[in-house]
Amino acid sequence: MSTFAVFGMTRGYAISSARRQVPTRIRGEDLTPEEWEAAVNIRADAIMNGSRIIQLCKPFDAPQFAHEFIRLMREQEECRDLCIRARAPKKDATGQPLKNKKTGAPVIGWQDWKAA
């Protein structure tokens, strides 16, 4: 059974990530709350303009649930690069499945999913 998840970036995640990254002191001086919020918004804008994506939800059993999640996310908040990925064996450049060197089991990871 396949597992599907939605990957991308949302404004809410960018702001929470920026809050963790922006310091409250710069050059030995405390920032005022307004200055800190402005710095957080600048950092959140930089994250939204970047190319990094994250897993936005817990895995779904079927791709139609992932499509529904994407539709709801687009209605609720600013987001970018939303895509569906499925857990599948990773493949090398020749198309052969990668195997764990120690156990010989196939290496499983998130792969872009295309509707058939």
pLDDT one-digit tens code per residue, 53-70: 999 999 999 999 999 999
The predicted-structure confidence for 1-11, as pLDDT tens digits, reads as follows 468 999 999 99
pLDDT at 107 over 70: yes
Q: Are 58 and 79 in contact (CB under 8 A)?
A: no
For helices 33-49 and 11-21, the axis angle rounded to 10 degrees is: 130
* Residue bearing tokens 């995640």: 13
Number of domains in the chain: 1
What percent of the chain stands above pLDDT 70?
97
Tell me what pLDDT residue 116 has. Answer: 59
- The span from the CA of 54 to the CA of 78, in Å, is 15
> If you average pLDDT over residues 90-105, what whole number do you get?
89
What percent of the chain stands above pLDDT 90?
63
The predicted-structure confidence for 14-55, as pLDDT tens digits, reads as follows 999 999 999 888 888 888 889 999 999 999 999 999 999 999
Range of the domain at 32: 4-112
pLDDT at 115 over 80: no
